[in-house]
Structure 1
Amino acid sequence: MKRRAALAAAGLLACSIVGAAPALTPCRLDGIEHEARCGQVERPLDPQQPRGTRITVHYAVLPALARNKQPDPVFFFAGGPGQSSIELAGPISGMLSRFLNRRDVVLIDQRGTGRSAPLLCDDDEGRAPLAQQFERGEQRQRIAQCLATLKALPYGDLRQFTTPIAAGDVDAVRRQLGAARINLVGASYGTRLALEVLRQYPQQVRRVVLDGVAPPDMVLPQAFATDQRRALEAVFSGCEQNADCRSRHPELRQRWASLRASLPREWTVRHPVTGEPERQTVTAEVLDTVLRGPLYSPVLASALPQAMDEATRGRLEPLAGLAHAATGRRGTGVAMGMHFSVVCAEDAPRLPPPAADEDPLLRRYRDACADWPRGSVPPAFYHLPRAPVPVLLLSGGLDPATPPRHGERVAAALGPRARHVVVPNAGHGVAMLPCMRDVLYRFVDTADEAAALERVAADAACAVQVPAPLPFSMSSTSPASAPEPRR
């Protein structure tokens, strides 16, 4: 009797601890057929001031179908930095569909994104006039206006939106859900958050999947500029090595270089979102920015030779259309206030001294971070300890943002429990490939750690053999808009 009473008391105590948080409530998420469960956890804005301003971190649980589900849920972290995980619920539920048979999938809106103390600048969805989006003076003004607006928010201390602080929020959600251990799946910047959760809370992590590795010491603006140039070189080389593409777009590399050398020039371009014609000063920075989105997807990148060819002939609409196709999907928007809060605190201090011929992308971040409130991160944040649990790293060989060179270095630092899979003809986001869904599932679901690691190479062979899309042509439907001399 005493033993039963003790067990009953222990059970009641456990229930009271787990149940102390508000109950999850039924909710509907875009792209999800079945009902989800939504929750929230109150967190101090500044962890050093627990009695100060508080924010609400929102999360959603996609419940497992099985009654006897596994006790370790899968936590998904979105990219950006600045994307909302909850807004990505539709595609993520598809990518992690096999997990939903036996494990809950948890989507957290990281502080500064989605519903969690959002740091949204005006017109983050890209409807602003093109001049405001691309011209350096206009960019500076927009960022200054955004900064003033965000600092006036009740939670406007922008120093408190770093990755290490967000990792504490993740553990708070874990504790509220009563999960002793969790599995982490991070995409792009989300891999940085996953690595930081693993560093701070190694005992609470069971498995880790890093898709498009963006480590804490990557120095995002500098790496983005370097890796985009390499991805564009692959487009030129691929066209030159394909007889049909070479015939359709002869000397594309040279003509593109001539176009860049002729800039800046005034152009009339239709806005990719509003469709309205606008006068735009086109610079090399504008072209680089427009190219960035299509390079993320091999399918869209395969249309770049024709779009770039059209640009050299006076038509920018095909390039603008590809850029909008890459960035205009619902859920892919970025909260730029959160984006700059992370990058200015974690990456900008590690940028090299400015150079006379500096890449325009680096200049943009230097401009933004010059006055942006800068949070602090511990020195240990930049160092990757040996992984205490199995880690699967995924890289696309054509990825312009997080190519394999980053995954290789991180895998070496994590040690013998890390496995790095490179899919040569994939872009940004290897886990979305259909056969990779099974690879992720088996890696996480296999109970034995050694067995989970051993089978990765064989399981991933299906994706490694995926061929590259051939260059293709788009139909031309709108008249050319000729460039005019700059006044």
Structure 2
Amino acid sequence: MNILRHFLMAAFVCAALTISARSAPSTTNLAGSWQGTLNVGSQKLRVGLNLSEPKPGGFAATLDLPDNGAKGLPVEHVSLADRILSFDVNIGAPSQFEGVVSRDLTEILGSLQQGGNFLPLALMRMDGKSEASAAKPAILSSPHRKFELKPCAVAGVTKDALCGQYEVYEDRAKKAGRKINLNIMVLPALVDKPAPDPIFYLQGGPGGAATSVAPSWIMTQMHRTRDVVLVDQRGTGNSNPLPCNFRGDPNDMRGYFVEGATPEGARLCRSGLEKNADLRLYTTTIAMADLDDVRVALGYERINVYGGSYGSTAALSYLNFYPQHVRTVTISGVAPPDNQLPLSFAKGVEHALNRLFDDCAADEKCRQAFPDLRKDWDAVVANVTKGPVTFDALNPITHQKQQVTMTREGFAELIRLVLYVPNVMSALPLMIHQMSQNDHTQFAYYAYQVQRGIDAGIARGMQLSVLCAEDIPFLKESDIEPAMGGTFYGGNRARLYLKLCQEWPRGDMPPKFRAPIKSNVPVLMLSGELDPVTPPDVAAPLLRWLPNGRQIVMHNTTHNAYPCSEKLAREFIEKGTAKDLDTSCVEAIKRLPFITSLPPLAIPR
């Protein structure tokens, strides 16, 4: 999530620079003028890319930012390979672009990376030229495909993406009654002769839609040599979604600083959803049976399964039940099926916070700005523990002032989520110090955006169907205090889940779901050293039964995706083995620099 786009260096509105361009090989004719829009916070900056071929097989390029009066900025390291265009440009700070060139050569869709930010940038060809004879994606000519795929025409997703629906019974055991249309997107391999085994990417949550990841920067390289298949799991996205609105109007900040879910809210949501769904039938094992049906219907014999967070639970479940069809498994933010969520949250949050305090103390700039950060933190926690804190805040959506009341439970959940997001976390010492002085404006402004963004992507009804069948039945009140007591996060969320699941139908789970997963299939586990919810020690026991498994602990990383983790995942999938991976990028991962000051927010009177 790129919440703090306006944390980009102010020099983004730049002057011309003097960097010499260097040509790189070209395999298609992209020469000409391309235009697009770069979203930087609330600003929309027009971008012009001018590609020319001064000599056979080589590109030269310049970049224009007409809204900032910048024209002819030198571009270097221009490269085109397997329909991926990449280049470097300095627009006040070093930036890298990477994007997919459409088969008809009319669109380049990708992201501009600057620091820890990935800013979507779509460039359109302005001269009207196109490549009408471009090769069609291989999957369209597959004789084994059993359902129709059409161009998706989804904003932010390559125009070559293909979409379709596949119908399954809601009650797979009875094979009768209500049917569900599974929403499916295929990102065809960029090469004309793809590897036969695609990547099936599984989204987290639980409750996230796999197709929502299609516009993400992580997909640019992922479908370079093989198809990527995104299936909205039943109950998510456009596959008979099961939403629950526990927070009211998403543009109203007030619902995001308290615990939104309540037993009463769960009962009300259940009542509405049961008109169109049997809530017992949206569990992981049933969804993985759906996934295998889609595999067959698309004509794939074996697949590479990739999942993060809850997606790792789903990926491991698919391996457990369909091992003969799995070539590799890649999992990050690993949540094993037998893990007792949310018990790991408390110590994970505690560890991430302690590292934040230690790293600030070890950083000269942060230490000088906040010499008593732990004391500041203790004051903030003590204040909100005494009772709800009320303050004025700037709503970043409406740009109006709102009076917000924050409870202890709401604060704990916001801190957990902020610890996911490196860009926001880099300003957390500053926000803690401000809150210790009863100034909550910056924290409220950014934490609300984090919570709102995550909440918008989660079908909470589907989430409860999973948790209340797979996790909470195995959670006892007596487990909570030993695992979560004595920490800032505490056990309130675990106790809340116990109450919510008393109001939710419980699906049946086969005993095999929580049994040890024993497999010779290559498995790569990527664990964030600072992950507040699925820390590395949660994943490590899996290796006992996975002789071809490997865990890599990613230094200074959270629950998010990082360029290094995605590079390792791609290399692993290409090789088909976790041995001899080049892990040098792991040691190079650093915390984003701490932000010790921010301009004040202008709150209307």
Compute the TM-score of the two structures, normalised by the length of structure 2: 0.70
Letter in 1 for 2:517: P
Are the aligned partners of 1:162 and 1:342 in contact in 2 as well (CA < 8 Å)? yes
Letter in 2 for 1:18: H
Paired position in structure 1 for 2:184: 59
The residue correspondences of 1:212-231 to structure 2 (distance < 5 A) are 212-231=333-352
Shift in alpha-carbon separation, 1:201–1:239, aligned structure 2, 3 A: same
Paired position in structure 1 for 2:44: none
- Which residue among 547, 550, 560 is the counterpart of 1:416? 547
Paired position in structure 1 for 2:558: 427
Larger relative contact order, structure 1 or 2 (CA cutoff 8 Å, min sep 6)? 1
Letter in 2 for 1:84: A
- Superposition deviation, residue 417 in structure 1: 0.3
Distance 2:438 2:367 in 1: 20
Three-state SS of the structure 2 residue aligned to 1:90 is coil
The residue correspondences of 1:30-429 to structure 2 (distance < 5 A) are 30-91=155-216, 94-122=217-245, 127=250, 129-135=252-258, 139-152=262-275, 154-155=276-277, 157-262=278-383, 263-270=386-393, 271=395, 273-329=397-453, 333-353=457-477, 359-410=491-542, 412-429=543-560
Letter in 2 for 1:361: R
Are the aligned partners of 1:30 and 1:89 in contact in 2 as well (CA < 8 Å)? no
Are the aligned partners of 1:160 and 1:375 in contact in 2 as well (CA < 8 Å)? yes
* 1:365-416 Cα shifts (integer Å, max 9, x gaps): 2232121111121121112322221111101111112221122222x23422
* 1:218-258 Cα shifts (integer Å, max 9, x gaps): 22222223311221222122223333323322322223223
Structure number with higher helix proportion:
1
Distance 1:438 1:177 in 2: 27
Query: Where do 5+ consecutive residues of structure 1 fail to align?
Result: 1-14, 482-487
Distance 1:60 1:473 in 2: 43
* 1:300-350 Cα shifts (integer Å, max 9, x gaps): 212101111111111222112332443455896211111111111111112
Three-state SS of the structure 2 residue aligned to 1:453 is coil
Shift in alpha-carbon separation, 1:329–1:136, aligned structure 2, 3 A: closer
Distance 2:186 2:142 in 1: 21
Letter in 2 for 1:423: M
Distance 1:444 1:212 in 2: 18
Are the aligned partners of 1:113 and 1:335 in contact in 2 as well (CA < 8 Å)? yes
Distance 2:341 2:260 in 1: 22
Distance 2:501 2:589 in 1: 40
CA RMSD after TM alignment: 2.6
Distance 1:85 1:16 in 2: 23
Letter in 2 for 1:351: L
Are the aligned partners of 1:136 and 1:364 in contact in 2 as well (CA < 8 Å)? no
- Superposition deviation, residue 128 in structure 1: 6.4
Distance 2:261 2:377 in 1: 26
Paired position in structure 1 for 2:123: none
Q: Alignment length, in residue pairs?
A: 453
Tell me whether 1:472 sits opposite 2:603 in the alignment.
Answer: no
Are the aligned partners of 2:151 and 2:159 in contact in 1 as well (CA < 8 Å)? no
- Superposition deviation, residue 105 in structure 1: 0.5
Are the aligned partners of 2:468 and 2:506 in contact in 1 as well (CA < 8 Å)? yes
Shift in alpha-carbon separation, 1:474–1:120, aligned structure 2, 3 A: farther
Distance 1:84 1:333 in 2: 7
Are the aligned partners of 1:125 and 1:333 in contact in 2 as well (CA < 8 Å)? no
Distance 1:339 1:444 in 2: 29
Three-state SS of the structure 2 residue aligned to 1:38 is strand
Three-state SS of the structure 2 residue aligned to 1:28 is coil
Distance 1:288 1:330 in 2: 16
Three-state SS of the structure 2 residue aligned to 1:65 is coil
Are the aligned partners of 1:30 and 1:87 in contact in 2 as well (CA < 8 Å)? no
Paired position in structure 1 for 2:585: 462
Distance 1:106 1:137 in 2: 33
Letter in 1 for 2:273: L
Shift in alpha-carbon separation, 1:426–1:126, aligned structure 2, 3 A: farther
Distance 2:441 2:512 in 1: 46
Are the aligned partners of 2:144 and 2:299 in contact in 1 as well (CA < 8 Å)? yes
Letter in 2 for 1:100: H
Are the aligned partners of 1:31 and 1:90 in contact in 2 as well (CA < 8 Å)? yes
Distance 2:454 2:499 in 1: 29
Distance 1:137 1:205 in 2: 39
- Superposition deviation, residue 137 in structure 1: 8.4
Tell me whether 1:445 sits opposite 2:574 in the alignment.
Answer: yes
Are the aligned partners of 2:534 and 2:559 in contact in 1 as well (CA < 8 Å)? yes
Distance 1:40 1:365 in 2: 33
- Superposition deviation, residue 26 in structure 1: 1.6
Three-state SS of the structure 1 residue aligned to 2:477 is coil
Three-state SS of the structure 2 residue aligned to 1:220 is coil
Distance 2:590 2:258 in 1: 38
Distance 1:210 1:126 in 2: 34
Shift in alpha-carbon separation, 1:128–1:347, aligned structure 2, 3 A: farther
Distance 2:248 2:408 in 1: 23
- Superposition deviation, residue 99 in structure 1: 4.1
Are the aligned partners of 2:152 and 2:159 in contact in 1 as well (CA < 8 Å)? no
Shift in alpha-carbon separation, 1:359–1:279, aligned structure 2, 3 A: farther
Query: Where do 5+ consecutive residues of structure 2 fail to align?
Result: 1-140
- Superposition deviation, residue 86 in structure 1: 0.7
State the identity %.
34
Are the aligned partners of 2:266 and 2:504 in contact in 1 as well (CA < 8 Å)? no
Distance 1:108 1:257 in 2: 44
Structure number with higher strand proportion:
2
Compute the TM-score of the two structures, normalised by the length of structure 1: 0.86
Three-state SS of the structure 2 residue aligned to 1:261 is helix
- Superposition deviation, residue 127 in structure 1: 1.1
Shift in alpha-carbon separation, 1:299–1:136, aligned structure 2, 3 A: closer
Are the aligned partners of 2:527 and 2:554 in contact in 1 as well (CA < 8 Å)? yes
Distance 1:413 1:306 in 2: 42
Three-state SS of the structure 1 residue aligned to 2:220 is coil
Distance 1:128 1:325 in 2: 10
Distance 2:511 2:224 in 1: 40
Distance 1:269 1:166 in 2: 44
Letter in 1 for 2:309: S
> Comparing 314-323 with 118-127, which one deviates more in the overlay?
118-127
Letter in 2 for 1:215: P
